[in-house]
Structure 1
């Protein structure tokens, strides 16, 4: 998430249509933030449609799919121009592979109370 955010900002200053891919990278950073820290859905004022979109990615397979899609978008940016967005593409692909591997091995997703996993609803209410 931090890499997507940093590279999205760093590539904003190109005078090329790579700017579109850097904006997408910034958007991906915020999507990752909400996916990985579900407590933010309770704290930040978001729309029900956005909440529903983020809640789709609770399983390892769905997280692997969204990370793979974000990675594919950044890989496509190579067609426009070779930039540091390749690093974001590689890291998103690695994250996707690890989530897919966890899904294949049957490992359940483990959330922590600190980041908004099980038990946070009782703490907030």
Structure 2
């Protein structure tokens, strides 16, 4: 199944994953551009966690501990991903408001969009899926 077919599938967990991937890139880049030890470090930690949540290939390839693997496996549920993205989005909105880090609006928006997409997927009862581009199964086994 191609990437275009995945976007046409209507599976909001895929949309959430792509918003999450864009937010990872934004968190890293804007953390460098507008460097502040506290806010940038927080954004990079969020990006690090999101890499392992959103890219299944990383969990297979990177050497991690059993405790880390069991912790990250909890985020295979759309409800927990929604909650995690909401927390991350709130932290980035605080960084924008309190820290005057206006460039982080992009990261906060994509984190918010990902939370909304995962929330819709959870409410619809859609089976969590991940894109074949990131090492997941795609929607070919779901549709």
TM-score tier, shorter chain, comes to 0.7 to 0.9
Give the alignment partner of residue 4 of structure 1, picking from 2, 11, 27.
27
Shift of 1:83: 2.3
Aligned residues: 113
By relative contact order (CA 8 Å, sep 6+), the higher-ranking structure is 2
Q: 1:83 to 1:114 in 2, by over 3 A?
A: closer
Provide TM-score, normalisation by structure 2: 0.71
| 1:103 is the counterpart of 2:122 | yes
CA RMSD, 1 decimal: 1.7
| Residue 75 of structure 1: aligned partner | 93
| Residue 58 of structure 1: aligned partner | 76
Moved over 6 A (4+): none
Between Structure 1 and Structure 2, which shows a larger proportion of helix residues?
2
Q: 1:84, 1:4 → 2: CA distance?
A: 10
- 8 A Cα contact 2:27 2:47, kept in partner: yes
Q: 2:34, 2:94 → 1: CA distance?
A: 15
Unaligned runs of 5+ in 2: 1-23, 138-143
SS at match of 2:107: helix
Shift of 1:114: 5.2
Provide TM-score, normalisation by structure 1: 0.80
Q: 2:107, 2:132 → 1: CA distance?
A: 28
1:24-55 deviations in Å (ceiling 9; x for gaps)? 11111121111111221121112222212211
Shift of 1:112: 4.8
Q: 1:80 to 1:112 in 2, by over 3 A?
A: closer
| Residue 111 of structure 2: aligned partner | 92
1:83-123 deviations in Å (ceiling 9; x for gaps)? 211221111011101100111011111235553435xxxxx
Unaligned runs of 5+ in 1: 13-17, 119-125
